[in-house]
Amino acid sequence: MCGIVAAAARREVSEILLEGLRRLEYRGYDSAGMALLDNEGNLLLHKQLGKVSELERVQALQPHYGCTGIAHTRWATHGEPSAANAHPHISGDRLALVHNGIIENHATLRDELKAAGYDFASSTDTEVIVHLLHYYLQQGLDLLEALRQAVARLEGAYAIAAVDADHPDQVVAARQGSPLVIGVGIGENFLASDQMALRQVTDRFIYLEEGDMALISPSSLQVFDQQGEAVSREQTRIDEVVESVDLGGYDHYMLKEIYEQPRALAATFSAGAGLLSDDACFGDNAADIFDRVRNVQIVACGTSYHAGMVGRYWLEELAGIPCEVEVASEFRYRKRVQHEGTLLLTISQSGETADTLAALRNAAPGEFVGSMVIANVDNSSLVRESDLVFLTRAGAEIGVASTKAFTTQLVALLMLTIALGRRGGMEPETQRELVNALQRLPDYVQETLELDTNIEALSEAFIPKHHALFLGRGIQYPIAMEGALKLKEISYIHAEAYPAGELKHGPLALVDDDMPVIAVAPGDELLEKLKSNLEEVRSRGGELFVFADRAAGFESEPRVRVLNMPHCPEAMKPVIYTVALQLLSYHVAVQKGTDVDKPRNLAKSVTVE
Ligand code: AGP
């Protein structure tokens, strides 16, 4: 999704801005742009549809240099992807501005500004901000005050950075609902929507808070709160080595990340050493909050929501704790009644998903006994704003399709189940068994990865298909949902998941020889019921792909293809079946020739509603 990088320095910054954009590329975008102020105070602009490499190409052909600048990758919300709609947007040849977020009252503001004589060069919501800023500067206000007046008119979410040719060494910024961080340098300062973009120039960061505004120059940085008071925000040093984000010999990040799972799962589990006796891995106040938890409300989006659904089975079945799970975009707008003693648990790879963040922020005072997040990105908004934090150790996930983030979220959820279960009378023997299973999980996943060639062979049958049906029962139902999501997002094959028992209540009508049916069929207690559901499919000419425990008694036969899965403890099955389905989607997508790591229309981090 959209990314911002900005710099105010004494050295030339075009390469710093471009490198920042390259580091944000994985988030998904459709166009990119950069504005620089040169030594003579000229505003120089490049904007391109397509990749950052396109922007680099025009910068090489017609170099722009300057010590102050802003740059942006855009993911279209208002107005189609085009060079005209790419940021920065300009006003009066002196001002340039980049924006992440959505301005909800842009139409009203546009009419007002047109009436005041402003011409619009794009169909974006963002352009109203730069003209508003220009309007207030024309009233004689200084740059910061003009920005304050401009953002006071905005409804919606924004992270903004702007430069003005009349203030050639300054960048001003504001945030509300979208993240923005200052990178603190020596004789230079920076801004970005994600610290990742600035790790090549600094390891010191100041995270702006809701409603903050900032002004940076090479020699100073100032932050102001919503009331306009100068404030001092905490500076964070990020020491960890920036992980290599190259392909490491794999054809795609998604495949690399699928194969990284044994290591990621082990690292995530090792963060909870001592889990059987203390709660340290969830944060300082964990014991106090957990002692008061009687229910859990999980809120998340997409793949993270599927992890939450798996978590519900564990929390209810293993820990005896009532649990609700809801997608954040619904939860945030619903009038709700909470049971007493409810923990609000958000799950998010990025920690920046707008709907999930809004769900946390909208929680009424006293509605929950506390909030906890399971996230993969340290210092993300959800991490900074939650009472308790469990960081998954998946490492950077670049592929838009979430893989290792999901399975590490499952590990975190099982660890939370153990921590809460300890209080609710979960037998010590059960706790130990779960911990042992988690310890061996990387081996089971490794065994599953070794089935890659067999899974690739199965995938060929999907190439001519336009639809697919995924079936699962019990805890494997959310795994079927996750399998369907993976297939649709990267191969563009329409896929739906159903609890297998729902088949004859409607979807069976769709089954014919053109509709592959994928069944997640570990040998659990629901196996016999699942077998009869599968018979229903077969007797209607459907083609079945059964992912089954090798001990479950499924055998391949005409129109039934069975993948024998490793045998492992019950609680580990959701993880290993997920890995197999990830590989299936991956191979289908590769053979269909889609953009596996950056599927069309999708973004890695969904920071707008
Ligand atoms: C997963 O493959 C998707 N790309 C998407 O559903 C994702 O899980 C969702 O947008 C939530 O993101 P988050 O985990 O960063 O909050």
| Ligand 1 nearest atom to the CA of residue 603, by list position | 4
Q: How far is CA 478 from the centre of its chain?
A: 19
Looking at the DSSP bridge assignments, the partners of residue 206 are 182, 235
Would you state the pLDDT for residue 245? 66
Cβ-based neighbour number of residue 315 at 10 Å = 28
Q: Please indicate, yes or no, if residue 441 is contained in any of the structural domains.
A: no
Rounded Cα gap, residues 562 and 477, in angstroms: 18
| Ligand 1 nearest atom to the CA of residue 375, by list position | 14
**CATH code where residue 591 lies:** 3.40.50.10490
Same domain, 225 and 271: no
Q: Please indicate, yes or no, if residue 345 is contained in any of the structural domains.
A: yes
Rounded Cα gap, residues 168 and 42, in angstroms: 9
Same domain, 321 and 411: yes
* Segments forming the whole domain that contains residue 141: 2-237
Q: Is the Cβ atom of 304 under 6 angstroms away from ligand 1?
A: yes
pTM: predicted TM-score of the whole model, two decimal places: 0.82
Give the active site residues.
2, 604
Same domain, 282 and 219: no
Same domain, 500 and 569: yes
Return the exposure string of 277-300: e unless at least 16 CB atoms fall within 10 Å of the residue's CB, then b: eebebbbeebeebbeebebbbbbb
Q: Please indicate, yes or no, if residue 435 is contained in any of the structural domains.
A: no
Please write the tens of the pLDDT for every residue from 108-143: 999 999 999 999 999 999 999 999 999 999 999 999
Would you state the pLDDT for residue 123? 92
Give 462's DSSP letter: G
Same domain, 316 and 390: yes
The average pLDDT across 432-446 equals 96
Would you state the pLDDT for residue 247? 84
Same domain, 278 and 178: no
pLDDT band per the 50, 70, 90 thresholds, residue 243? low
Q: Tell me if 327 sits within 8 A of 354, measured CB to CB.
A: no
Q: Residues in the chain, how many?
A: 609
Same domain, 260 and 390: yes
Q: Closest Cα to atom 5, ligand 1: which residue?
A: 302
Rounded Cα gap, residues 556 and 563, in angstroms: 8
Q: Is the Cβ atom of 162 under 6 angstroms away from ligand 1?
A: no
Q: Please indicate, yes or no, if residue 327 is contained in any of the structural domains.
A: yes
Q: At what angle do helices 476-491 and 302-317 cross, to 10 degrees?
A: 170
Same domain, 84 and 36: yes
Would you state the pLDDT for residue 47? 96
Would you state the pLDDT for residue 488? 97
Would you state the pLDDT for residue 61? 95
Among 215, 237, 259, the domain-final residue is 237
Q: What is the number of domains present in the chain?
A: 3
Q: Closest Cα to atom 16, ligand 1: which residue?
A: 348
Cβ-based neighbour number of residue 251 at 10 Å = 12
Same domain, 593 and 486: yes
Mutate which of 304, 481, 490, 594 for ligand 1 pocket (most atoms within 8 A of beta carbon): 304
Would you state the pLDDT for residue 525? 63
Same domain, 306 and 417: yes
Please write the tens of the pLDDT for every residue from 269-303: 998 877 888 888 998 899 999 999 999 999 999 99
Q: Tell me if 178 sits within 8 A of 159, measured CB to CB.
A: yes
Considering only residues 434 and 532, tell me which one the structure prediction assigns the higher pLDDT.
434
Please write the tens of the pLDDT for every residue from 179-195: 999 999 999 999 999 99
Considering only residues 457 and 605, tell me which one the structure prediction assigns the higher pLDDT.
457
pLDDT band per the 50, 70, 90 thresholds, residue 558? confident
Q: Please indicate, yes or no, if residue 487 is contained in any of the structural domains.
A: yes
Q: Please indicate, yes or no, if residue 245 is contained in any of the structural domains.
A: no
Same domain, 209 and 290: no
Same domain, 473 and 389: no
